[in-house]
Structure 1
Amino acid sequence: MTTSSRRNGRAQPTDPAALGLAVVPRKAAPGAPAATHVRVKLDHELRKLLAREAGTRTGTDPEDLHQMRVALRRMRSVLKTSGPLLGPDGEQVRGELGWLGQSLGEVRDYDVLIGHLREVVRTFEVRDQPAGRRLVSLFVAERGTARRRLTRALSDARYTTLLHEIAQLTHVPEHENTADPAGRTGPIADLRKPYRKLAKAVRALPADPPDDDLHALRIHGKKLRYTAELARSTAKKKDAAKFTELIKATRKFQTVLGDHQDAVVAAEKVRAALGKADAEVGFVAGRIAEHELAKRAEARAAWPKLWARIQKAADAVGAIKATTKPDTTASRRRGC
């Protein structure tokens, strides 16, 4: 069975029904087996991905690609933390999601860069804006190349196969296995692993951490957030608010470190473009690089306080073992 058709020579978006998905999204009661919650999460995120597929193909609104990528990342995260509950196929699907994520991520990075640089250029004096637009046009051309690679990926049989494999994982067996092969006891246990990884990464940072280390922190924070979202769906109503606070804290943490990474990438890209630029573009590029370095400094000053908020929220839901107190070393070391 094919999941997409062609009209006027163009592939059409995938029909959820062609993947065997039910008309109504699946639901799971808080007391349902953990594996069922994982399958329901995959069902919801797969539908979100499909809903954004058409817009991603056309490229009219960058938000479509962004949301398609978010859905993909959430599926990868849930398969990383809870995939063993679904059997051996989960890891294979996670690997294939990584393949698709590379194509989506490349275009998304250019979308973010171009959108941000256009905003910065609009703040310049009128006489400098034409040079700024010429600089941005260099990245628009590079994005076009990346988008063609993405279009080929979405038209590849490998993508169609991946969609079917995800859909297969969403199907709840008649007798769902309630055994926990990883030895976990519930959502709190699920949270402990990503929290420990984030905490360990924070403790390992020097006083002036490299940019790549802060980017890694953001990734750890994102994994903790996605795991907390799944845990909230399995939690009792009286505990859900605690998970919500952890989700909010990690989201803010992600945002600040995301701003840091965007500034780092923008400065690097602008510097790399200087070899292709004339004097006017070079002058504007220098101003943009200075602007991005200031943003980078702001983010570096802000994130430690947000880490303290995550620690407090994680402690409230029991993600920090009773024998382990929140570590405030990082905040003290940075004067926060």
Structure 2
Amino acid sequence: MSHEIELKLTLPQKSLAALRRHPLIADAPRDGRTCTLENTYFDTPELELRERRMAVRTRKAGTRWLQTVKCAAESTGGLSSRPEWEQPYTNGCFDFSAIDRDDVRSRLESLHPRLVPVFTTRFKRETCILTPREGVKVLAMIDSGTIEADGRERPLCELELELVEGEPEELYALALQLAETLPLTPENVSKAERGYRLFSNHALRPAKARPSRLSAEQSPVDAFRIIGFDCLALWQANESGARESDDPEFIHQLRVALRRLRSALRLFGPALPTDFVARWSDALKDAADGLGAARDLDVMLAEVLSPVAESGLADEATQRLIAMAVDRRDREKAAAREQLLAASHGRQMLALAADLYTLQSDALVKSANLTTFARLQLSQLRKRARRRFSAAADDLHADKLHELRVSLKRLRYGIEFLLPLLPEKATVRFANDVAEVQETLGYLNDEAVARSRLKTWAGKDPELRSGAAFVAGWHAPRVARLRKSVLPALEPLLWGKAPWRR
């Protein structure tokens, strides 16, 4: 059994020539000739190997045939480490006898009679040897071709950096050098998983945050690292969808990932290096702001304008405003896609992954009790929300209500991050109640922003001003009702007993 450690990076097909011209690649010695690899992946008709996160494939390279078995790997920031067994594939028959893990071997031998071809990858591979310094050796493999399943195909274009000698952080260092001028993006999804998606003919769907994986034995820095990589994975998962799909949920969930990261930085800030927090707070804000206009216009259409149109009461002026919103939204989406395709975007993801991987902790922070830290930090977040509540209660100004909403969002994210350390039932119930109030405040903010934007668009055009006034009037009864009820609903949550307090 071997254990491969690799960093997988995707890039647009049109950038291959630039990758080959990059000095790191162009000046490196080749490891053999460029070859065409044809890989067939096998599974049972019920896809039992996929369910167990195992892969069995045959590979044809020239006249040579290989059999490969891979097991599950946790990929973070594009970096993965997985067990692999490779041997000659002879006489068209699988042989699993050499696999030195009893559970893997017995599972494969029991499924062997039912294994059938599921999908194929065909690509040209160019391999060069990178030796940036003594004691470090990395294979850089450029793969370009297709994934094919059941008459469908998708392009495949990626760079794999496989560690031969040295430490894993060397892979990030090389990737960041390449990403200075190339649009490289870290990729957590393997070729096998992409093949299964194509075989199942499932469209890529927006990803949502997964449950927290913290445990009380971890230090605050280790806990932050886990949360950081989970947020980065959410960012990565939605980034490709945001580039390829018109579904607004991809950009929304991508921005959620960035907001969650910024919230985690604030939550764990006392345990983290000051320069790390400052650098990434600014960088993540800039990344989210660059995608904000497209998301804001999607929300304006879905939450404010579409309900008016669907009521059947929208007049011609309102329809003109809706058309303006659609046009601006489409232009902002195009700008967002350009941002996601830029080399700086992938470089930022790689830089974050590298910083998370090498993040250090001092002895004092290592000795801190994570559960105690969690209770203290959540109490601080609730105190900040109380201050925002008091400020908003004076006049219910839209800006102050929005600030209150932001503080509640940070509190809810903090609870979600730290939930494994807290009394589950009471804390989940509290978080759900906070989320309900947050949603109400979100609608009030969306309506206020839309009202201001529509007024600006209308300018001095009397017809458009009439349409903007009509939209505001249509929402006015609901706005008045919610403004009256939202703070009384929130008050017991902020001044009652917190579920995380002993």
TM-score category (smaller protein): 0.7 to 0.9
1:101 and 1:309 mapped to 2: Cα distance? 32
Cα offsets for 1:301-325 (capped at 9, x unmatched): 1211331242266523229xxxxxx
* 1:261 Cα deviation after fit: 0.4
Q: 2:390 aligns with which of 197, 200, 203?
A: 203
**In structure 2, distance between residues paired with 1:252 and 1:120:** 23
Structure with more of its chain in strand, by fraction: 2
The question of whether the paired residues in 1 share the 8 Å contact of 2:214 and 2:418 is answered with no
Q: Secondary structure of 2:364's match?
A: coil
Find the counterpart in structure 2 of residue 180 from structure 1.
Answer: 365
For residues 420 and 358 of structure 2, what CA distance do their matches in structure 1 show? 17
- 1:259 maps to 2:443: yes
1:275 is aligned to 2:459: yes
Structure 2 CA distance, aligned partners of 1:112 and 1:289?
16
Q: Is the 8 A contact 1:72 1:101 kept in 2?
A: yes
Distance in structure 1 (CA, Å) of the matches to 2:280 and 2:399: 27
For the residue of structure 1 that corresponds to 2:365, the secondary structure is coil
CA distance, structure 2, for counterparts of residue 22 and residue 294 of structure 1: 57
Partner of 2:312: 124
Query: Which stretches of structure 1, 4 residues or more, deviate above 6 A after TM superposition?
Result: 23-26, 181-184
Answering whether residue 135 of structure 2 is matched by residue 76 of structure 1, we say no
Aligned to 1:326: none
Structure 1 residues 68, 300: closer, same or farther in 2, change over 3 A? Answer: same
The one-letter code matched in structure 1 to 2:307 is E
Which of 207, 226, 249 pairs up with 1:40?
A: 226
* Unaligned segments of structure 2, at least 5 residues: 1-6, 17-74, 83-187, 189-209
In the alignment, the residues of structure 1 paired with residue 409 and residue 298 of structure 2 have an alpha-carbon distance, to the nearest angstrom, of 20
Displacement of 1:85 after TM fit? Answer: 2.8
The answer to whether the 8 Å contact 1:231/1:243 transfers is no
Q: Offset of 1:69 from its aligned partner?
A: 0.8
Distance in 2, matches of 1:314 and 1:67, equals 32
- Larger proportion of helix: 1
Find the counterpart in structure 1 of residue 424 from structure 2: 240
- The aligned residue for residue 79 of structure 2 is 20
- CA contact under 8 A between 2:228 and 2:261: conserved in structure 1? yes
* Partner of residue 6, structure 1: 12
Q: Which is worse superposed, 247-256 or 299-308?
A: 299-308
Q: Aligned ranges for residues 5-154 of structure 1 at < 5 Å?
A: 5-7=11-13, 19-20=78-79, 27-87=213-273, 88-116=275-303, 117-125=305-313, 128=314, 130-154=316-340
TM superposition shift of 1:206: 4.6
Whether 1:284 and 2:471 are equivalent positions in the alignment is no
Task: Select the structure with the greater relative contact order (CA < 8 A; seq sep ≥ 6).
Answer: 1
SS at match of 1:32: coil
Aligned pair in 2 of structure 1 residues 182, 32: CA closer, same or farther (>3 Å)?
closer
1:93–1:165 Cα contact (<8 Å) kept: no
CA pair 252-17 structure 1, distance change in 2 beyond 3 A? closer
Instruction: Tell me the CA shift for residue 294 of structure 1.
Output: 2.6
Take 2:431 and 2:322, find their aligned partners in 1: how far apart are those partners?
35
Task: Provide the rounded CA distance (Å) in 2 between the counterparts of 1:136 and 1:276.
Answer: 18
Q: State whether residues 259 and 295 of structure 1, in contact with CA within 8 Å, keep that contact through their aligned partners in structure 2.
A: no
Q: Can you list the C-alpha shifts for 1:172-204, whole angstroms capped at 9, x where unaligned?
A: 77x865633998842101112211111112223
* CA gap 1:271/1:316 in 2 versus in 1, 3 angstroms: same
Task: Pick closer, same or farther for the CA change 1:44–1:250 going to 2, 3 Å.
Answer: same
Structure 2: distance between partners of 1:99 and 1:317? 33
Distance 2:367 2:278 in 1: 14
State the aligned residue count: 307
Contact 2:272 2:361 in 1 (8 A): no
User: Secondary structure of the residue that 1:310 maps to in structure 2?
Assistant: helix
Alpha-carbon distance in structure 1 between the residues aligned to 2:401 and 2:362: 39
AA matched with 2:349: L
Distance 1:247 1:177, change over 3 A: farther
Q: Report the Cα distance in structure 1 between the residues aligned to 2:317 and 2:248, rounded to whole angstroms.
A: 24
1:304 is matched with: 487
Asked if 1 retains the 8 angstrom alpha-carbon contact of 2:255 and 2:288, the reply is: yes
Relative to structure 1, is the Cα distance of residues 314 and 251 closer, same or farther in structure 2, using a 3 angstrom cutoff?
A: farther
Provide closer, same or farther for how the CA distance between residues 8 and 293 of structure 1 changes in structure 2, counting only shifts above 3 A: farther
Distance 1:302 1:252 in 2: 12
Instruction: Specify which of 409, 412, 415 is matched with residue 228 of structure 1.
Output: 415
> Which structure has the larger Rg?
2
Q: How high is the TM-score relative to the length of structure 1?
A: 0.80
- Asked if the contact 1:114–1:140 (Cα under 8 Å) also holds between the matched residues in 2, the reply is yes
Root-mean-square deviation (Å): 3.1
The answer for the alignment partner of 1:325 in structure 2 is none
Confirm or deny: 8 A CA contact 1:225 1:251 kept in the other structure: yes
Distance, in Å, in 1 between the alignment partners of 2:392 and 2:298 is 30
The residue aligned with 1:333 is none
Instruction: Give the Cα separation in 2 of the matches to 1:152 and 1:314.
Output: 48
